[in-house]
Chain A
């Protein structure tokens, strides 16, 4: 559904709500499994996710964080790097291998997870900027759905990373 929305953004009015409903099914299950293992972890992760959203929105509105060209480039590069690393890990998983430190609950694993959370959070700034500039430029109405969809994608990513980080901290 996410891919359909990206390629057919005119359909975002239908595909974005469908994406949200489907993603909820997956998130509900994943969250419940984490909750069973680490009671109370989900409310913490949800709180931290929305807290981060509020903080970043404030930072964006007060121009504390400015989405300059260099900022965008940096976040773009870091996000791409993480995506490639995750992809390599995913493929290595098929061969029964993995990049150990990423999933470890050691200091390096937690440090890496913190870095990913920070990058996911900073992606929110790009989403805010995208939505604001779209409205300024007078983009078509369906771009409201597309902007909301992209913000959801980032929030889901941020939530899952925070959940993973908390689980690592609890398992130590």
Chain B
């Protein structure tokens, strides 16, 4: 674990988000002091925040869908949601 390099680890990731050598050292790596570095706990917390945000907006659309007798009422919101993948 310890002696692997970031590039070895990330160079062949299957996740499309990781294909661009995400950890290739750039200027921001050198300028970063130790308190401003990534931690495992920080990433876990932020994943939790993203999950909650996603659940909140999903719950909002879900409620609108089932409260209105017209399912088309949420079409606009769903279209807006497609921006997520752009």
Contacts and interface: CB of A to CB of B under 8 A. Distances in A.
Interface of A: 1-6, 9-10, 16-17, 19-33, 36, 67, 69, 72-73, 75-80, 83, 119, 122-123, 126-127, 129-141, 143-156
Nearest to B77: A25
Given A32-B62, A133-B9, A136-B2, A144 B15 contact: no
A97 B36 CA distance: 52
Contact of B23 (A22, A137, A150, A152): A137
Nearest to A119: B14
A154 B15 contact: yes
Given A2-B86, A144-B39, A150-B18, A21 B54 contact: yes
Contacts of B65: 28-29, 32-33, 36
Contacts, number: 218
Given A17-B53, A24-B53, A140-B36, 7 more contacts: A21-B56, A22-B84, A28-B58, A69-B8, A130-B9, A133-B9, A140-B38
B76 to A, nearest CB: 9
